[in-house]
Structure 1
């Protein structure tokens, strides 16, 4: 399918949030995927990933995950300055604010004429964590989480007992977790901690560890693995076609 995109400003509990919506150019109703970016927000690689998903028959929402902390339209660079700013934003915005952003996007989707009513989540890096976290919301039927950071470490601030590991028990949809074995951000010990937590919670999940570094999905990066990236697109699309 060919794809079109449009910018919207959604009202959230913590202020206006710019969100780009990618959707098939064809008429009709479609399931939706909330696609959470890296700390850099909507960079060109993120836009291309969203376009690939939309071209397979989904409406894809890409929110500015740190909308409270930056001017609208901010895109951070893949450099030390961008990394430092993004990591600072990550350590500043609490999970509770990400939760209310998800609620705003779910409400927006439900109100659209193109909505089929089914919603999934997907993301890379911190976005993988936010896709996992979004699945705490009962409106999220499935989540595809790529090299999700800080689930194991509690690196995103939250109220006591409201970290993502503690909330795993509330996930009712299906999860697909993907990690790179050479990813320094999520060690083997960290991966075991996340998986054991999923087992303890009785979560419906799939687990995949691949020989890859962090950010292996990001085209243009030295760590990019095109063959693995294609495989992950196929797995994500299969998950969402089955569950949404």
Structure 2
């Protein structure tokens, strides 16, 4: 169950969804969307995190764009999504992400800190937000912007978990290894999946890899329980 809220930014209110756990409060997670937006899939993952006991905020990162609707039924849905992403100004988008973390810290339902989780585009955004603000934990699924953000690796001090498929056409295996080398330190887990392509957690048939998706979620749940536990 979710509710619509507004997140203050320097340029106005950014719409977001808030998912509450059964007790009504808990540690906070800001969940950053993939390039397709705040889809049913992203909302389902937010609900999964809320079921674990977290209060989850999902900001509408495309809120500044006039037309951000993507028709999944079209053959060019991926091209539509990439076109939307290309319209974003990255520093402004990171600022919106940081604003969401600030709003989470001020949220009356959230206690016990704020972590960030992101998928695809949102995985890179979560990494940059973790480098720019104090977060309790980072989980990044195949962060597409990460190859260009590795100079920020030393600024990401939160316990972190990265997921990558080794059959990813967008982030080849040699680039995944370069990312691994840059981010590896105490407190960082790095999981790879041999047969999985990009966006393997997305249930859409063009992306989904059932075994990798299930394994990655198990790793995510275990990691959060160890590094960002829910007390109640």
Following the alignment from structure 1 to structure 2, what is the Cα–Cα distance between the partners of residues 58 and 70?
31
Structure 1 residue 57 displacement after superposition: 0.4
Alignment of structure 1 residues 121-200 onto 2, 5 Å: 121-152=116-147, 154=148, 164-199=149-184
Match of 2:97 in 1: 102
Match of 1:38 in 2: 34
**Cα displacement string for residues 196-229 of structure 1 (whole angstroms, at most 9, x for unaligned residues):** 2224xx4631111102111211124243123332
Following the alignment from structure 2 to structure 1, what is the Cα–Cα distance between the partners of residues 142 and 57?
20
- Of residues 58, 80, 92, the one that matches 2:87 is 92
**Cα displacement string for residues 64-118 of structure 1 (whole angstroms, at most 9, x for unaligned residues):** 11211135xx442234544333212322323311221122212211222211141
Q: Judging changes above 3 Å, is the alpha-carbon distance between structure 1 residues 56 and 75 closer, same or farther for their aligned structure 2 residues? A: farther
Following the alignment from structure 2 to structure 1, what is the Cα–Cα distance between the partners of residues 172 and 152?
21
Match of 1:215 in 2: 199
Following the alignment from structure 2 to structure 1, what is the Cα–Cα distance between the partners of residues 37 and 30?
13
How does the TM-score come out when normalised to structure 2? 0.88
Structure 1 residue 167 displacement after superposition: 1.6
- Misfit runs of 4+, over 4 Å: none
Q: Does 1:118 align with 2:101?
A: no
Following the alignment from structure 1 to structure 2, what is the Cα–Cα distance between the partners of residues 103 and 223?
29
Q: Does 1:26 align with 2:23?
A: yes
Q: Judging changes above 3 Å, is the alpha-carbon distance between structure 1 residues 169 and 233 closer, same or farther for their aligned structure 2 residues? A: same
Q: Does 1:6 align with 2:19?
A: no
Q: What number of residue pairs does the alignment pair up?
A: 226
How does the TM-score come out when normalised to structure 1? 0.84
Following the alignment from structure 1 to structure 2, what is the Cα–Cα distance between the partners of residues 214 and 180?
6
Stretches of structure 2 that go unaligned for 5 or more consecutive residues are none
Structure 1 residue 30 displacement after superposition: 0.4
Q: Judging changes above 3 Å, is the alpha-carbon distance between structure 1 residues 128 and 189 closer, same or farther for their aligned structure 2 residues? A: same
